[in-house]
Structure formats: structure tokens, C-alpha cells
Chains A and B, each alone.
Chain A
Amino acid sequence: MITKTVKIINKAGLHTRPAATIVKFASKYSCEFFIKKDGININGKSIIGVMTLAAEMGSEITLTFDGVDEEEACKEITGYFERGFDEL
């Protein structure tokens, strides 16, 4: 299992487009993927779940990956967070 803490760095925060992109990335992998914020744990393969997260610029989020392809999944998804959802 890999746990990573990431920061939201784009101005608009985790809005609908990045939410959809994260879910699309996650569903390519077989490992489990959870997003934790303010004590709430959300399954990262569920678009409706990810859409309930109100994550503004500057907020911190914990990602956990668990499964055979956890490393690849972690690399792609944390990279997307670190690039500010390609909106910088």
C-alpha cells in the first residue's frame, strides 16, 4: 500500500473536470484507490464520490493506493495533482 499527501495548487481547485479525469485515470488500474480529506474517505473510482469533495486551492489531500499496479497508478495520479491538473 502506498500513501501520499498532495496539495491542490491550481486556482480553481478540484472542480468537475479534474474530478472526472482522476476517476478516468483510476479506473484503468486494478488497485484500490482512496482519497481522504477532512476525515472523509472517498473511493477514487467513483465520480459522484469525488464530486462531493470540496477541495480549494491550498487544501491537502491524502491518497492511498493498494494493489498489484499501485505504483503505476500512484505515479500517474499524484503527477496529475502535482501538475495542478494541467491548469497552471
Chain B
Amino acid sequence: MITFDQIYKDAKNKMTGIAAAPGLVIAKAYKFVKEELEISKLEITNIKQALSDFDDALSKCKKELNKILLLARDIMGNKRAIIFEAQMMILDDPILIGTIKRRIKYEKMDPEFIVDDEISKYQKLMFKAHEAYMSERAHDIEDIKSRIIRNLQNKKLKSKISKDVIVVSETLTPADTILFSRSNSKGFVTDHGGLTSHAAIISRSLNIPAVVGTHNSTMLIHDGDELVVDGFHGCIIINPTKRQRNFFNRKIKHLNELQSSLKELKNNKAETTDGKVIELLANVDVTGEIDIAKTSGAQGIGLYRSEQIIAELGNFASENEQTEIYRKLASRMYPQIVTIRALDIGGDKFNFSEISEPNPFLGLRGIRLLLKNKNLFKAQIRSVLRASRNKNIQFMLPMVSSLLEVRETKNLINVCKKELKKNKEKFDNNIKIGIMIEVPSAALLAKEFADEVDFLSIGTNDLIQYLVAVDRGNDLVSDLYREFHPAVLKTLKIIVDGAKISNKQLSLCGEMAADTLAIPLLIGLGLKTLSLSPATIPNAKRIIRSLSYANAKKMAEECLKFTTSHGIISRIEKFFEDSKIKRTRNII
């Protein structure tokens, strides 16, 4: 059977870009070209008419924008929708609107000319700032300017595009993306933009395949061309040959079959053939993933990475904003449990201070940084507490390496509880507090830590990194990072045993849980709860449902005796063969 590599290797009708949203689709191209607006510079005689035309145009703009604003809030949340709110405020800007009206009266020129001239002045100032975000801002203003002019010219926006097309455009403004997503667009291809562009973010949350940053798609693709958009590999095929079309149709069919067969599993338990039930939870980064988590059949959120709010917003969220985000999260998942992990900043994630540490992975990160910035930490604790009123939130601490950190945090939580009580604010007084086990010292003392907290969750990425002293991001040594290192298995065993003696909940939320090869091993070692990215849950369920716990346990016990990761991997592969389980990568 031919592979993706082979298909792309000798394809002459191929374009590449950034894989911005996963998925595979074949459809006709629709080229979205922004009309250049022709501005009339005519003098006018009827000033009264001109002024009322201008007012009409403004109210039409408000109607249009209001619709977009509502959609945007729905799709992207209040915070990102601020761009549209600011555009809305511009339509009511007393200084701008006053000046335009005054100029129409005195200069007796077509309102569209005055609007263009006046708003362009502000854009020039923004471009002059020579800051990337200021020119972005100038583009946002362009959107509102052309909206007013278009309404003055009484033109309808070409928003009704034919259905089921792939939109190809130089760039897509936030408003374009929102509107297209509502008219059944099958995919997005743009010349510019990266993973964080609006088109990319929105298509990911709507599950629409997208390839962005192709540089010249609008030059090479024509209206009506047949396109393959491969959002897994960041490739586009223009007018596929028969061979290519057959290949992709087959892949799409496989993908659909896999998805629907997995969908059928949604309401089934992740139960082994011999009756052991495993709890599967979702790791969630962005709010948009909550829906995917729910449809994947996750039984709750095992890891909500709260620092991702910073990545989404571009800055720290205020206490009120955090409260709102956590509350929404809790109510959307209710009655299922949501585990919020305290801000995990430092290390490789978000430079918090200006001081550059010689060795950030052994430096001020996770709980260490939070305990040194108590105001920041307390604001988060209070927000989490407020969101816990329906008793479905638990709070988890990252990078814990000593019991003192746990005790200090518990004191801080008690201080916050008192503050809320004083203000008569409601919260869950018995909110569960847990820690991530991702530092070897915490792993070795798993029982002692378990005695002090309500639950433990193993973060394999960092734990393995610290155990084998390998930075995964360093190409010189990254091949020494081994999930199946005998020391990793022994450490996991210590943690499982520690939690068991202390009778506390234990889960595993690192990437290891999503590795199909690791799943039987983890279950065999005695893990009863796994938290993984929503998209991988159906597959994990498929594997668990086809294995026997007794056999997995036997296999894990044998693996604990191996002295090389090679031996361990071969043993697990044999387990897959013996149990007749197919690995996911061999299916699509």
C-alpha cells in the first residue's frame, strides 16, 4: 500500500504550508478576493442627505458587527471577541464621528471620501509606530473603514458563498473566518498567517482542516480547482490526478470509518475483556477543546493547564477573568470533575521574570515560582475556590519537590478560604488538593506525599526527563529520552504502590498515556485512571476494550525485570500481537 510520503514525494501539483488544523478533505476551491473599494471624490450639494446617508451606513454597520460579535463570543469566548467590541465602539466614537460629520458639512465632499481620509490618518499613525502589533491593529481598523464605506455605497457583503468549498485567500480577517465557518466551508488555505492566526484557531475549534502560510496559494490556485487539503501534514494538492484522488478518497474513507466506529464506543466503558474498568479523562488546553472532550466520551478533565490562558490571551488574566473562565469550565463539565492545575510557568514555558536562569529546568518554575509570587498565586486560588461552589473542581500543584511546599500551599489556601468567607462568597470547603508527581524526589516519597494530599497525578514528560537527565528539546541527547527506560517502570511502580498504601486516587496525565504502546503496560502496572488529549481517548478505549487485565499485569511484571528499554518494548509488542490488537498508526 502506498503511503503519504510516497504520494507527496513525486507530486508536481503539491503546495506546502503550516498544518494549522488537522483533517483531510477534497472539495472545490473558492477564491476569496477582497474587493478594492473605489472611493468617490465628488462634491455634494445636498448636505442633509449626505449626513443621513452616513447615519444609515453607521447603523447598518452596527447591525452587521453585532451579528459577528455574537458569533465570535460564541466561538472564541468574550476575551478574543474584544476586537469586534472595539470596532463597535469606533462606530460610536464621539470624536471620530463628530469630525467626519463636521467635515462633510464644511468641505461638501462625498461622505465616503471623508470617512476614508479621516480613518486613514489614524492608520498612518499606527503604522508609524513600527511595532508588529500596531500594524495588526491598523489592519483591524481597515476592516471597519471598508465596512462603513461599503455600506455608504450600499453594497452587500459577498458573504453568501456556494456551500461545501475550500476558501483560499491571501489572509482572513477574524470577521471573514467567523462568517465563512457559518456557511459550511470545508477547509481554509491562506497565503499568510501562522498557527496562532485567527483562521487557524477558529478552524481548529470547529474541526475544519486548514493549511496556512503557503505564501502563494492565491497565485497558483484558481476558482473552481479541485483541492485536497491535508491538515495533518500541511499539504495541498491542486487538481489531483486519478491516482492521487483514489489515494486520498481511500484515506478519507478510512478516517471516517475509524471516527464513526470510535464514536460508537462513546458511551461504552473502557473495560478490559476480564471486567476491569479504567477511567479515561481529558487533558484540556484551550476552551474550544472542551466540546471535543465531551464528544470523545471523557469522564471528566484530568488536567486543565491553566497557564494556557496566558498563551490564549497574550497576558495574565485578572482575578475576575480567571474566575469567569474556571466557572464556565466547571459548569460545562458538571457533574464531571475538572482538575485545574495551578499556573505552571517558568522552565521552558513563559518567561516570567527578566532574569535569565542558567538552568531553567532546575530553576524557578511551577510551585516554586508561585510561592515566591504570592499575590499571583492567591488570585488564582481564590478564582478556583469561587468556581468550586458546585463541588466538581479539584486543584493540582505542579513541580512539587518537597513536603514543605505542599504545607505552605495548604496554608495559603486556608488564608484564601477565610478571605472568601469574610466576603460571604460560596465555595467548596472540602475542595480536593493534589500534586503532580514529576520530580524524582516526589516519586520516591509518593506515599509520604499521598498522606498529605487528596490525590496524585503522574506527569510523565518531566518525570522521565528528570529521571534520565535528558532535555527532550536538545537534539544532541534527545534520543536518550526513553519512555520505556527500566528506571521509568520502577519509578512508576513505586508511585502506584505509594498511592495504594495511602489509599489515595492516582492518575497519569503525561503524554505516555496517549502512546498506544504504553497503555497495556500502564494498566498492567495498576493505574486505574489515565488522562489524555481528547482526540486520543476513543483509540485508548479501543485498545483497553480488547486487552485482558490479567495478561497485562503478567506482562508488566515481566517488563519490570528487564534491564533495557529494548527488551521492554519487544515484550509489549509481543503483547499486542498475542492479544491481536492493532496499533493506531497502522490503521489510517
Binding site for B on A (CB under 8 A): 10-12, 15-17, 19-20, 23-24, 27, 40, 43, 45-49, 51-52, 54, 86-88
Contacts and interface: CB of A to CB of B under 8 A. Distances in A.
B83 A16 contact: yes
A46 B90 CA distance: 8
A29 B235 CA distance: 55
B175 to A, nearest CB: 15
12 contacts: A11-B316, A16-B86, A19-B86, A27-B94, A40-B125, A45-B94, A47-B90, A47-B93, A48-B119, A51-B86, A51-B126, A88-B375
Contact of B316 (A19, A20, A51, A88): A88
A54 B317 CA distance: 21
A20 B82 contact: yes
Interface in B94-137: 94-96, 119, 122, 125-126, 129, 131, 133-134, 137
B381 to A, nearest CB: 16
Nearest to A10: B315
A86 to B, nearest CB: 4
Contact of B93 (A11, A17, A48): A48
> 8 closest Cβ contacts across the A-B interface?
A12-B315, A46-B95, A54-B129, A86-B318, A52-B125, A47-B89, A43-B95, A54-B134
B316 A87 contact: yes
A23 B82 contact: no
Nearest to A83: B318
Nearest to A12: B315
B85 interface: yes
- Most central of A20, A45, A46 by chain B CB within 10 Å: A46
Contacts of B95: 43, 45-46, 48-49
Interface of B: 79, 82-83, 85-86, 89-90, 93-96, 119, 122, 125-126, 129, 131, 133-134, 137, 141, 314-320, 375-376
B18 to A, nearest CB: 25
A49 B122 contact: yes
A44 B453 CA distance: 51
A43 B122 CA distance: 13
Nearest to B126: A52
Given A20-B89, A48-B96, 10 more contacts: A10-B316, A11-B316, A15-B315, A48-B119, A51-B122, A51-B126, A51-B137, A51-B141, A86-B319, A88-B316
Nearest to B320: A86
A15 B318 contact: no
Contacts of A16: 82-83, 86, 137
A26 to B, nearest CB: 10
A45 B97 CA distance: 12
A46 B85 CA distance: 14
A12 B314 contact: yes
Contacts of B85: 20
A5 to B, nearest CB: 21
Nearest to A55: B129
B122 A48 contact: yes
A54 B86 CA distance: 16
Contacts of B314: 12, 15
A48 B90 contact: yes
A65 to B, nearest CB: 16
B93 A15 contact: no
A88 B319 CA distance: 9
Contact of A87 (B83, B96, B137, B315): B315
- Most central of A12, A48, A86, A88 by chain B CB within 10 Å: A48
A88 B317 CA distance: 8
A35 to B, nearest CB: 12
A11 B315 contact: yes
